[in-house]
């Protein structure tokens, strides 16, 4: 099984988009949906940390 590589630029972009969406949901009063997005953000952080702990090198180059 090939090692997973974390594309840091894509990860940060997705994270920024989720945070912006979460803020929009909060402004609209959709607190439960905003909470679920927050949980997704926590999962992303956990998964990224797991990938890095396994020794995968972050993929930082762009194509």
Q: Is there a contact between 48 and 6 (Cβ–Cβ < 8 Å)?
A: yes
pLDDT of residue 13: 92
pLDDT of residue 56: 58
pLDDT of residue 2: 58
pLDDT of residue 59: 61
pLDDT of residue 51: 74
Q: Within the chain, which residues score under 70 in pLDDT?
A: 1-6, 55-63
pLDDT of residue 43: 93
Q: How far apart are CA 47 and CA 16, in angstroms?
A: 16
Q: What is the pTM of this model?
A: 0.69
Q: Write down the residue that tokens 């926590």 correspond to.
A: 42
Q: Which of 13, 21, 11 is nearest to 43 (CA)?
A: 11
């Amino acid at each position: 099984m090939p090692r997973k590589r974390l594309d840091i630029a894509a990860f940060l972009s997705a994270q920024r988009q989720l945070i912006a969406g979460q803020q929009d949901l909060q402004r609209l009063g959709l607190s439960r949906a905003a909470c679920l997005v927050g949980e997704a953000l926590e999962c992303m952080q956990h998964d990224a940390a797991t990938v890095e702990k396994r020794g995968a090198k972050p993929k930082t180059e762009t194509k």
